[in-house]
Chain A
Amino acid sequence: MRHFPFTILLFAICSFMDSALVAVDSPTVKIPRPFFHAYCLDCHTGPDAANGIALDDIDVLATQSRLDLQDSERLQRALKVILSGKMPPKGAEQPKIDQRQNAGKQLHTALIQKTGFGGTLLRRLSRSEYISSIRSLFDFDYQLPNSFPEDRVEHGFDNSAEGLVVSAPLMEAYFNSAIEIADRIIPPLEKPPVRTVTKLTAKDLVISYSSGAVIDGTMRLAFDWNVLFRSTTWPEKWEARQAGTYRIQVNASQLLSQNKAYGSFPGSMNLEVRARSLNGKDSEPVLNQRLLKTFEVTKESPQTFELIAELYPQETPVFYFANGPVSGDKKALEALTIRMFKADPRLYAGWKNSPQTNGGRGGLGWSRVKAIRDSDTLDLATVDTSDVAMAKLAKTLSNNPGNYGETMVFQFYEEGPALELHGVTIEGPLTIIQTPEQITQQKRTKAFLGALAEPNAINNPSLKDDLEEFFRRYLSQLFRRPATEQDVLYFKSLTANEIEKSGSILKGIHLAIRTSLMSPQFLYRGHQPGVLDHYDLATRLAFFLTNAPPDAELRRLAKEAKLKQPGILTAQAKRLLTSVNADSFVSLFVRQWLGIEHLTDIMPDARLIKDFNDSDHKAMVTESERFFQHILDKNLSVETFISADFTFANERLANRFYGMTGVKGNFKKIQLPDNSPYGGVLGQASVMMATANGVDTSPVTRGIWVLENILGDAPPDPPDDVPAITPDTSNAKTIREVLTAHRSDAACASCHRSIDPIGFVLENFDPVGRYRTHYSVLTEDKEGKPFVAEGPLIDPTGTYKDGTRFTNTHDLKRYVLSNIDMFSLCLARKLTEYATGRQPTYAEITELHLLVEENRQAGNGFQNLLLGIVNSRAFRTK
């Protein structure tokens, strides 16, 4: 059993592991009370018990058929020290070897029997499970309102039954969300709209930046720039309140050029009328707005153009000069400028000599340029009007199309060519229409209601039967198991009462939906204790692997009572793993297992780490997700999590964080160079960043992270009176010196012997996961400006508690690989916790142990391990 050199406990257990699972159902084995009385209770008694561990209730525990988690943990600690020989302490009377072994074996078996399988509490739907349930039931995406309370994280996961409490604010959120959801399915009636006629003058149209200007009572447009607030105009005070058809009349004309520099405008001016939502951003591209109609404006005298358009609520028509003379594109603007300068050197001189060439911005800037251009005192002979000089200025100006465009466009507003809008009239709604969403929803609602949606259904003699049938179907899907007759009749009468009161089937169903969405049978899963039945098994499997309720196929298999057949359960698990929703399993599990869910909360110190942005956070998390997904999909060995010589990265992540060169484009699998410190979860930026604070790294945080999430050997919390260790980056004391002092205290040493050496090895990763050999320090130059300098050399070496020497991350990885079952067990345990919503019992951990060992002998495929968990007794018991 070389795989468990670190504790004899596991060694010992494995030696009688085979008996382990049988033990649960075999004749009762007792706790070895005489052994405890003879060797433990002298010291471990009463309030002053040694190490605070009292065992004087051992006789009571022995009589209990079931141990709770705390008692079981206390006895596991006892088992550990009995088998390791640590207790009784040196100097006390010692049991013989076989006494020890027998007591250990007996206690182990008793523990298995007394902890048993199962025990998940009623488990309420988490936020994300609630959302996916709504989607599955009603076929639309429901976004939780901001006031919907967050779930509490317990034991590292937000889906543990213990953490998923129902509080008053949550119940209120359910109450309100139920109304919103019912309103989506059965929308409240709206008042019929009133037809109105709105006449708008040029002054009633919007201007932003330099999108237009009102001159001589006309709104002038000249910009052809694909951003709403740069080039378009729309009514200030009009929007459609109701989806309908509207008559839009726009009075427009050409303003032809008195603009010497530009010359004449060729052809027609194309006025596009598009529909935009006022709820959208003003910075959206013009071309993304729905085109209603394009008019060709060809005359200098005003002409009225008319269209009938469909507009949805909050939409308004927006007017765009689609072939306007001034572009927002740098190159085009530069070419235009050169052409205009050549045609009118005085214009060039105006720009050249304007005091605020670059900061002119807007009509004010233009008036200054114009004043110089038109000045009697301008002597062109004194200005360098060579092609080179003009080109140079044109380039400088056009380089900032915002500043320059906003200013130069005023020449077009004043002198043309420009498109003039004299007024806009909007009349409507002429007819009422439905939005595409309304039409889709109506189809959904009709399908959902079945016979109840028929016209005049209220007078249908079969109404009662139709209601019954509706609720049998709906409630069975909602409750994830066949609705009882009692439930069906209950909802039927509730609905029938409301129908009678209001005279409306829809009102009745609306109330039924609201009620059902607060039902405990919907909000909680896993009602019956013991081995899961087909329906509960389908539910657990579906939420585990797809974060959603069972789909049609699982529901069918449950109904046919086939799901429990081993081949079928495995095949279904495999099917779900390839479904679209498996993404949410990977994402939710990986983020919580690795503790990288809240990465965005950490913003690196911008002085130490330059140009870090939100896309980096996202890329790091994506890397970890894609990596996990890959190992799962390809059934690669569990070792791959540690030893991988590849990763997934995009250009920025690979080149900026992982020191690679020449990686291009989006996320893909990347082969890492030999001896790369990256690769595997022990070299991923997401993990390194999550275990630092953006400024400093802490060997303690990273050491504990590895013990908890990789080796499954989490140290207990430090005693209350110990202050937290904070790195001292400012002076000579290194974190190593601080920790050395810490370890000299015996109470601290017992844990820090394992924590620190692992943490030191990982010091070679900076707060955002880049490999480094030296610390960075922030200092000031002579003028007091801060700059980053190379600080002390990092010493990553250390000796682990079992004597293993670590000098770099490869040593740490080798250590984990040579103890791979520890990692597999840790991962298997996390998956089980995530799937079952509870901490596994002693018996269940023993089962996982066996599974991990068997799986290793069969090639250690990760997907196989996961399928093994799905088939485990722990998974199949409530």
Chain B
Amino acid sequence: MPNNRKSRRHFLQAAGVSLALPMLESIQTKAKEVKLPIAQRLICVGTYLGFHQESFFPVKSGVDYEASKLLEPINHLRNDFTVFSGLDHRAGNGHGNWSTFLAGQKNSQITLDQIAAPQICRDSRFESLQISAGKVSRPMNFTKTGIALPMIERPSVLYKKLFSSPDDRQRLDYLLDSGQSALDSVKEQAQRLKRRVSKQDQQKLEEYFSALRDVEQRVSRQRENLASPVARVDYELPEYDPIAPTLMLECENVMYDLIALALQTDSSRVITMNIGGLGQVFTLDGRTLRAGYHALSHHGNDEDKIRDLVRVELEHIRSFSKFLEQLQQKTDANNRPLLDSTLVLLGTGMGDSSRHSNRNLPTLVAGGGLNHGQHLAFDPKDDSALLGDLYITMLQQLGIEETTFSNASNNLNHHLL
């Protein structure tokens, strides 16, 4: 893949990030005050077309499983993740139900990331970030009220959001500075209004004053952040946005780099990435595949097509593996690898895209201080374990005391803690 080399260069630059860490230090201070949960960040990655099950699931279960074809590129990290088979949400089949991936049995229910975000992301700049690699046809994240969240599909837009340019910073600083005088003005107006209204309305107006005070504080905090070097990252984006269908795998790599940087700068602690699966025609090892990704996924057990499909899927796993390596190398304020306190879920809402079956979803969880290094195999026909049970364990590991998730009300703590 010609783009691979380029991405690799980005990756190396990303590793050499120069930044100060006021935010991460603030975590450290807190760590002294309260006992923090082991996992503090959540990353969820979903592939639209899933993974070829026979190539993904190891044959043997337990700790001494032998890496499957798709898990080979990540086998050197085997002690940092667990692979699951036999789990799903008992949701309906078809592409339409892909969005149940993080939602549970039904579409539009609040998703795992959105449950976690308000609880673990209070202090970071973005409560959660939704990203896609390639154009995607289904949403992956839903709010409490069932609203599908839009995804950022351009690396340049994400980068700008995370690490604004000096020009952007200057303008933002101006807006915040003059915004402070705007806040002062409206406070004065409200005080004048207060004198004219009834007693009850004066009480009602207290809401306004109190909200104003909060925003004033936020604005001055934002200005302080702007002045700090935290947002300055020396990472070179490609000159173009890799959003053409043919460049999806490159986009995936760049997005992973940006996610790692976002975590390192504590810009957000809940980030999701939706990896598309339309007709993208990829060029791997210099050879253009003879069919689009989607066509390959409908392999009908044709060996040649499965071979090409698995080659694409191997690229996903390689990118994912490089991402985990980044999280191992980058450290938090306690000088511990980010991966140790970051739960990373790689999964899908599609069990077997050739048949549009949403049973037995290929799932992998890395990091976050769980007891890894195993293949947990469940019987997909048996109702003893649901994918939601895994999510409950993940939420609990993040310090969120949930005991149910959609149709699930058990957990996998006994396997993973």
Contact = CB atoms under 8 A, between A and B. Distances in A.
Do A and B associate with each other? yes
Interface stretch (B22-30, B50-58, B273-281, B320-328): B273-281
A206 B292 contact: no
Interface in A584-643: 600-601, 603, 606
Given A214-B288, A363-B291, A406-B291, A229 B218 contact: no
A207 interface: yes
A596 to B, nearest CB: 15
Q: Kindly list the 6 A-B residue pairs having the minimum CB-CB distance in the complex, ordered from nearest.
A: A362-B291, A363-B290, A209-B279, A168-B214, A237-B240, A171-B211
Interface stretch (B68-76, B243-251, B333-341, B384-392): B243-251
B204 A121 contact: yes
A599 to B, nearest CB: 11
A175 interface: yes
A303 B308 CA distance: 36
Nearest to A694: B106
Most buried by A among B188, B219, B294: B294
Size bracket, chain A contacts: 35 or more
18 contacts: A146-B147, A146-B149, A170-B211, A175-B179, A175-B183, A207-B246, A208-B245, A208-B281, A229-B245, A229-B279, A236-B247, A239-B241, A359-B305, A361-B291, A406-B291, A486-B192, A515-B182, A524-B208
Given A356-B300, A364-B308, A167 B146 contact: no
A528 B298 CA distance: 68
A600 B292 contact: no
Nearest to B147: A146
A529 B198 contact: yes
Nearest to A237: B240
Nearest to A234: B244
Contacts of B92: 606
B298 A361 contact: yes
B212 interface: yes
A511 B178 contact: yes
A410 B291 CA distance: 10
A577 to B, nearest CB: 30
Interface in A100-135: 119, 121-122
Interface in A516-539: 518-521, 523-524, 527-529
Given A278-B241, A356-B300, 9 more contacts: A121-B201, A168-B215, A208-B278, A229-B279, A237-B242, A403-B295, A511-B178, A518-B186, A600-B108
A150 B145 contact: yes
B407 to A, nearest CB: 13
Nearest to A230: B279
A146 B189 CA distance: 29
Contacts of B308: 364
Nearest to B301: A359
Interface string B217-255: 011000000000000000000111111111100000000
Interface of B: 92, 106-108, 135, 145-147, 149-150, 167, 171, 175, 178-179, 181-183, 185-186, 188-190, 192-193, 196-198, 200-201, 204-205, 207-208, 210-212, 214-215, 218-219, 238-247, 278-281, 288-292, 294-296, 298-300, 302, 304-305, 308
A406 B295 CA distance: 9
A674 to B, nearest CB: 40
Interface in A216-275: 229-230, 234-239
A551 interface: no
A282 interface: yes
Contact of A166 (B150, B189, B208, B300): B208
A325 to B, nearest CB: 20
A188 B171 contact: yes
Contact residues of B: prevailing secondary structure = helix
Contacts of A179: 175, 179
B91 to A, nearest CB: 10
* Residue among B279, B292, B305 with the highest chain A CB neighbour number at 10 A: B279
A356 B302 contact: yes
A361 B281 CA distance: 12
A236 B107 contact: no
A278 B181 CA distance: 39
Contacts of B183: 175, 518
A237 B244 contact: yes
A282 B278 contact: yes
Nearest to A178: B182
A645 interface: no
B21 to A, nearest CB: 26
A161 B203 CA distance: 13
A520 B240 contact: no
Contact of B288 (A207, A278, A520): A207
Nearest to A511: B178
Contacts of A170: 211
**Which of A161, A367, A520 neighbours the largest number of chain B CB atoms within 10 Å of its CB?**
A520
Interface in A153-171: 161, 165-168, 170-171
A171 B304 contact: no
Given A171-B212, A237-B244, A514-B179, A209 B146 contact: no
Contacts of A486: 192
